[in-house]
Structure 1
Amino acid sequence: MAETPDTYVRERATKGRKDLTYPPPPEPLAVGVYDNHCHLEIADGPVGEDGYEQLSLGEQLDRAEAVGILGVVQASGDIESSRWAVAAAESDPRVLAAVAIHPNDAPAYAAAGGLDDALAVIDELAARPRTRAIGETGLDYFRTEESGRAAQHTSFEAHIALAKKHGLAMQIHDRDAHDDVLETLGRVGAPERTVFHCFSGDEAMARVCADAGYYLSFAGNVTFKNAQNLRDALAITPRERILIETDAPFLTPAPLRGRPNAPYLIPLTLRFLAAELGLDVDELGAQIAANTLGVYGSFA
């Protein structure tokens, strides 16, 4: 195996967050599943802060494995995190890599005249055997001003082309841009395996995605009180198109919202999904595990 990468590439802001300690582990799953989107390169708070527990990549994966999480897909958003994802995947068989320039980062690369060069690096990383997805890419109209949207569109379409070139799945970041994301996929043609990471639409959008054969990945925010749209979308999503993720260290499921998220907390979200759907947890877990392997291939 390759050498394990340095633990952290960047830190997450702590302003307004009161509890930076990791929650206790949930009851282990009897049937294992995979976290199909996480950011383990992000330290969920200042590195070395007194009283804050820092977890290495191996510790994160060991905690996850102890509760039945069989593997993770490490997502990326820039050149540095994409390289980290590939290094992590090559150092531990429980990790697969997704590489991309995040839509919120694309305008900065473009403004500096470096978007084409950045995409060339993603192209190179996409050819590595442990890279199984292009992601996260897409459109974000929440954080990016209108002046940066042209760069987002250029980047998104380039990532779609890379996913097709390398025969990889694609993980979509879609925030306040549902119509334009769907229009782009319809116009240029979606990759064969297209995943809406942290699906944020409603029942109507879920029906469009289901008809198109896209996968919908549900994160901890499906448990939030104000997320009835996500629960409505879940209810009509074909079982063979459901995936699960943490988006760690973000979107920690209720009642732990605000504390650090990690792959070992997937059982909380899975049990919530099963209850919403009226399904046995083991049955749903087996289906989601099969779906995940169908999208990304074997972790072995």
Structure 2
Amino acid sequence: MAEGKKGIPPLPEPLRVPVADSHTHLDMQEGDVDAAIAKAASVGVTTLVQVGCDLPGSRWAAELAARYENVHATVSLHPNEAPRIVLGDPDGWSGQRRGPGGIAALDAALAEIDALAALPQVRGVGETGLDYFRTGPEGVEVQQESFRRHIALAKKHGKALVIHDRDAHEDVLRILEEEGAPERTVFHCYSGDAEMAKVCAEAGYYLSFAGPVTFPANQHLRDALAVTPLDRILVETDAPFLTPAPFRGRPNAPYLIPVTLRAMAAVKELTEDQLAAAVAANTARAFELA
């Protein structure tokens, strides 16, 4: 697909201070992985966190991170994956038909996530959490059980916990409090408001902002960013999803991080260099990359 108005977004001006894409899915993006990593590096996005959402994706993330010094992995069963395993669903992340396998199938899947989480190139457990947008009431209990067990795995291995929270803010915060959050907890693609951001900051959580913070209708996200302490902010693409404005609707990739970061710097009333330096330090601390 050609770069330009209707195709792949053009390369942004490179950042002067290198940063990390704290959450991407290279396995879901079109094209060559080597080229994607090089393209990101060419604009100052020199570190990538590759996120696994099911067993095949988590294995792939760990294998990729083992090959590249600047790529780090997280492993998990996505909140929507757990009900697929236990209750049965034809549309898993890998396109393979699921169960219903019952709780024993979830036990087996989490045992493999446990083993992967022990690997040194795996820097986080997630994306886990709750997603009430696509999962019906029958899947809520399974999601919550899976979330609790991912929290335990993150603490067991001393890895960051990466949270997916969609239409489930109160339950996510409640379960984190009940279980005791890991030392390093990241809200991926933060979707709450300013008041929730203050609660998260008080608890010491990191908030990672993605393309939606640039969408005109999402003033609540910019308000949340404005009140988030500088030492708690991360940036991500969630590519190939959530492409930032003005490229919304086109393919997303890690090389577009500068677009989101510059919009965030304007909200924080900082220079892009100031925000980039803070984000780089925060990401290294959150995922223990130093």
State the TM-score, normalized to the length of structure 1: 0.89
Secondary structure, counterpart of 1:41 in structure 2 = helix
Q: What's the counterpart of residue 159 of structure 1?
A: 150
1:126-141 correspondence runs (5 A): 126-141=117-132
- Residue type of the partner of 2:34? G
Paired residue for 2:235? 244
Separation in 2, partners of 1:31, 1:204: 30
Spell out the pairing of 1:153-192 with structure 2 (5 A cutoff).
153-192=144-183
Moved over 3 A (4+): none
Give the match for residue 261 of structure 2.
270
RMSD: 1.1
The correspondence of residues 103-252 of structure 1 with structure 2, limited to 5 A, is 103-111=79-87, 112-113=101-102, 114-252=105-243
CA distance in 2, matches of 1:287, 1:266: 15
2:7 to 21, 37, 54: 21
Task: String of CA shifts for 1:207-226, please: whole Å, max 9, x gaps.
Answer: 11011000000001100011
Distance 1:32 1:238 in 2: 20
Shift of 1:21: 3.1
Q: Percent identity?
A: 58
Structure 1 residues 115 and 267 mapped into 2: Cα distance closer, same or farther (>3 Å)? same
Is the contact between residue 274 and residue 280 of structure 1 (CA under 8 Å) also seen in structure 2? yes
Shift of the alpha carbon at 1:23? 1.1
Comparing 19-28 with 276-285, greater Cα deviation is found at 19-28
Aligned partner of 2:286: which letter?
A: V
* 2:59 equivalent among 83, 97, 102: 83
* Structure 2 segments unaligned to the other structure (5+ residues): 88-100
Number of residue pairs matched by the alignment: 271
Distance verdict in 2 for CA 1:67–1:207, change over 3 Å = same
Contact 1:132/1:169, CA 8 A, preserved across alignment: yes
SS at structure 1 position matched to 2:191: coil
Q: Tell me the distance in 2 between the aligned counterparts of 1:190 and 1:181.
A: 11
Ranges in structure 1 where 5+ consecutive residues have no aligned partner: 1-18, 44-53
Q: Deviations over 1:4-44 (max 9, x none)?
A: xxxxxxxxxxxxxxx8832110000000000000011003x
Does structure 1 residue 292 correspond to structure 2 residue 268? no
Contact 1:20 1:260 in 2 (8 A): no
The reply on whether 1:31 has 2:17 as its aligned counterpart is yes
CA contact (8 A) 1:100 1:136 kept: yes
1:167 CA displacement? 0.1
Structure 2 CA distance, aligned partners of 1:93 and 1:135?
20
Pair 1:63-2:7 in alignment = no
Partner amino acid for 1:70? T
Amino acid at match of 1:62: A
Q: Please give the alpha-carbon distance, in whole angstroms, between the structure 2 residues aligned to 1:291 and 1:218.
A: 13
Q: Distance in 2 between matches of 1:59 and 1:20?
A: 21
**Alpha-carbon contact 1:195-1:217 (below 8 Å) kept:** yes
TM-score normalized by the length of structure 2: 0.92
Q: Distance in 1 between matches of 2:131 and 2:289?
A: 31
CA distance in 2, matches of 1:31, 1:165: 34
